[in-house]
Structure 1
Amino acid sequence: MNSPLRCYLPFPKTLAATAGRPCLVELPARSCELGHSWTSMPLRPVHTMRDRSKNRRPLQKGRNLSIEAIQTVHSLKLSKNDEVLRGRVFETKVRRLIKADMVAVLRELLRQDECLLAVQVFDDVRKEYWYKPQVLLYTEIIAALLRNGMIEGAQVLFSMMKTEICEADDEGLNSLVQTLMLFNMPGTGMECFQLMKKVGSEPDKSTFRALVNHMNAKGEFDVSLRLRREAEKQFGVPWEFLIAEEET
């Protein structure tokens, strides 16, 4: 039987306190069962590779994951329906990884759409001494959550990000706005757009175009007009020329 996977996210209003951890939030787990089958041998059981990989997406060719990272990903997936076992995996494997391997595990879980496990790994990443907030990493996680229909979880992550980002990051924030627009979240996209201006980042042409198109589609023509005028002021050319440049 599948049970909700608890993901630890230090976001006060939506999370409940739990013993030994700061906070947790329960997000609905996708129905996913790991198939096992064991064959008996005279001395020890043998786990067949065919059965073990039955419901597992293969590692992408060319991805540089260490043996430790690959083993950690596999152990986490095996433990996702067992909270006690999952805690043991975090203690004995995840928290012993070096920085590169821990981030690689996080990204591989996202690639395999194991979003709830990835969020819990990210919570541990944020506790490491070497951690520095990166908008692009937040964007990857938010995109994976939205891709899997976890809108509330994506909003929690965005709220967390806003408390950590205090410096300009043009590439990361433009990417995040466009990701939010792609998944039809214009309200959060506009909130991110305002955050860009607050920290001194400059929206690029693709960001303006995505926002204007969504505002027009929703009938928010006043907002669309303000965005067009802001883009014209920033780039020094009429909106029609900006659109033509983007299309070419």
Structure 2
Amino acid sequence: MKLYDVVRKEIWYRPDMFFYRDMLVMLARNKKVEEAKRVWEDLRREEVWFDQHTFGDIIRAFLDGGLPSEAMDIYEEMRQSPDPPLSLPFRVILKGLIPYPELREKVKDDFLELFPGIVVYDAPEDLFEDQGLRSESESE
């Protein structure tokens, strides 16, 4: 955060989507929620807007960091974005939401509403367990 503050005070500094993306991803990985909120406030104040792919990257970083509530806050920002939705960021988010089935269902419903002709793959929960059971029973 010290470096973040120094960079933003430099004369050459210009608000940049990638700078903010990298900061948020790093903070998510390190579970620095308060710092991430501050960075988010700064980017809004500087009128930095993310494209759909960048939103997907950031949301996935928060999910991978074990911060689903914060990820869903950013997801709501993504849904309000003026950019047209794209299916790939939704797929990235849906994959990150596998450990959070209730949240995943909400995003999946949004995805199916936005992209009605596209199928969402849901892997069976016991996929690997079944394979393990088969190999045990085959060996008997």
* TM-score, normalized by the shorter chain, greater than 0.5: yes
Report the CA distance between 1:178 and its aligned residue.
1.8
Please, which of 113, 119, 123 is the counterpart of residue 233 of structure 1? 113
Stretches of structure 1 lacking an aligned partner (at least 5 in a row): 1-118
Distance 2:75 2:31 in 1: 23
Secondary structure of 2:75's aligned partner = helix
Report the CA distance between 1:216 and its aligned residue.
5.6
Matched with 1:184 is 66
Report the CA distance between 1:143 and its aligned residue.
2.6
| Aligned CA distance change for structure 1 residues 208 and 171 (closer, same or farther; 3 Å) | closer
Alignment pair present for 1:195 and 2:44: no
**Aligned-residue CA RMSD in angstroms?**
3.1
One-letter identity of the residue aligned with 2:107: L
> Sequence identity of aligned pairs in percent?
20
Stretches of structure 2 lacking an aligned partner (at least 5 in a row): 123-140
Distance 1:183 1:169 in 2: 21
One-letter identity of the residue aligned with 1:170: Q
CA deviations on 1:115-157 (whole Å, 9 max, x unpaired) are xxxx223223223454332232222223333434534323332
One-letter identity of the residue aligned with 2:63: M
Report the CA distance between 1:210 and its aligned residue.
4.6
Distance 2:95 2:56 in 1: 16
Contact 2:21 2:58 (C-alpha < 8 Å) held by counterparts: yes
> Bigger relative contact order, structure 1 or 2, given CA contacts below 8 A and separation 6+?
2
Distance 1:176 1:149 in 2: 13
Contact 1:146 1:183 (C-alpha < 8 Å) held by counterparts: yes
Question: For this pair of structures, how many residues does the alignment match?
Answer: 122
Greater helix share, structure number: 2
One-letter identity of the residue aligned with 1:157: V
When normalised by structure 1's length, the TM-score is 0.40
When normalised by structure 2's length, the TM-score is 0.62
